[in-house]
Amino acid sequence: MKPDYSKKATSQEIRERFDKDTERFSNLETGQQTTIDAPLTMELCTEAARYANPHATELLDIGCGAGNYTLKMLSKIPDLNCVLNDLSMPMLQKAKERVSPQTKGTVTLIQDDMRNLALPDNHFDIILAAATLHHLRDDNDWELMFTKIYKALKPGGSFWVSDLITHHSELITKLFEDKYSSYLETLGGAEYRQKVLDYVHYEDTPRSLNFQLALLVKVGFNEIDILHKNSCFAAFGAIK
């Protein structure tokens, strides 16, 4: 039976929530505090990109938010041409404000649902997607997005993901849900924990790490690696 996503948040609802939260997401400590090991996974994804593509010139940051990942990438590979995509224009404006002084390259903003991106073939050296793919809904969305990304990368280009994930076993799902709930409670108590879990349930439809690794293979990647996994979060990627 196919999952019913009709009661999940629309793109507009997600955009409206993020429109109101640009200041929080301009700071890794506050914007990504609900993501376990956020500083570590950002470091690993951008460092993996640097190792894979040390002479990169073209970067795409999907769901860029206020630009944290792009800024970290620029600290490792200077003067990239940066294409920043997000649903939220306030997020994009904040990202441009922060990113532009850090590169001599171009900074291009694309406000749109990532599923609508029309990307040039064989163009980008590095594509980053942090805490954004979990907004995709059915399997067709996921395959569409991974296919777009594969085609948009130059041969030898790389794609790096840091995101919320699910698990296949109900028992293991319960294990990591309990661990995540306990982690959230340490950040802000029971009320904060419930607030985060409620919007995750309403907005997000993550997939398992196994599903995403298999999908990378299906769309054409053959050099695929897991950088980190802790509880219901993982960092991983692939080289074309």
- How far is the first Cα of the chain from the last one, in angstroms, to the nearest whole number? 34
Report yes or no on 111 lying in a domain. yes
Q: How many domains does the chain have?
A: 1
pLDDT at 129: 98
Q: What is the pLDDT along the chain (240 residues), one digit of tens a residue?
A: 677 787 877 888 778 777 667 666 666 555 578 899 999 999 999 999 999 999 999 999 999 999 999 999 999 999 999 999 999 999 999 999 999 999 999 999 999 999 999 999 999 999 999 999 999 999 999 999 999 999 999 999 999 999 999 999 999 999 999 999 999 999 999 998 999 888 888 889 999 999 999 999 999 999 999 999 999 999 999 999
* CA 118 from centroid of its chain's CA atoms: 18
Task: Please check whether residue 121 lies inside any domain of the structure.
Answer: yes
Give Cα separations from 113 to 12, 50, 108, 110, 150 (angstroms).
Answer: 9, 27, 16, 9, 18
Q: What domain range includes position 90?
A: 11-167+206-239
pLDDT, residue 6, reads 77
pTM for this predicted structure: 0.94
Q: Is residue 69 part of a domain?
A: yes
The answer for residues whose C-beta is within 8 angstroms of residue 15's C-beta and 6 or more apart is 87, 88
Instruction: Return the residue matching tokens 């904060």.
Output: 192
The CATH number linked to 41 is: 3.40.50.150
Torsion angle of C-alpha atoms 51, 57, 61, 64, degrees rounded to 10: 100
Residue 211 lies in a domain: yes
